[in-house]
Amino acid sequence: MSEKILVVDDSLTARHVMIDILSETNFEIDEAANGLEGLDKLQKIDNVKLIFTDLNMPEMNGLEMIREIRQTEHLKNIPICLFTTKGDGNALEAAKDLGVNAFLVKPALHEHVISVVKSFTSKK
């Protein structure tokens, strides 16, 4: 069973940039367009080792999705990296309170994304 990274962002362009960067890792990459879709994917796929998520998305935003993940027993320990253009201090503080493990500002530099992957997984 291959290990996976989930990328959740309503911007198709942002997802494709992240997937392109992550394609050099040894992970299978899955994607979702919003928090609801992200939660649905997490219920259907196994072995997710890391989640990259945007903050502002329709249907269910990143904070709502993170809250649900942290309250779900089999998902709560998956590391989460919030990547966003939004510098909203209140939202970032709320994300910290919910246990977000890392933060990246869009557009994320290639080496920063890979560094996050290395920090929270055992492989590049």
Please tell me the predicted confidence (pLDDT) of residue 31: 97
Q: Any idea where the domains of the chain sit in the sequence?
A: 4-120
CA-closest candidate to residue 118, choices 17, 24, 16: 24
Residue 124 predicted with pLDDT over 60: no
Encoded amino acid at 11, one letter: S
More confident residue, 89 or 102: 102
Please tell me the predicted confidence (pLDDT) of residue 10: 96
CA–chain centroid gap for 100, Å, is: 10
Helix (H) or strand (E) holding 88: none
pTM score, two decimals? 0.92
**What mean pLDDT do residues 101-124 have?**
85
1-50: pLDDT as tens digits: 589 999 999 999 999 999 999 999 989 999 999 999 999 999 999 899 99
Please tell me the predicted confidence (pLDDT) of residue 66: 96
Please tell me the predicted confidence (pLDDT) of residue 73: 94
Encoded amino acid at 111, one letter: E
Strand ranges of the sheet holding 102-105, from the earlier edge strand across to the other edge: 28-32, 4-8, 48-53, 80-84, 102-105
- Class assignment of domain 4-120? alpha beta
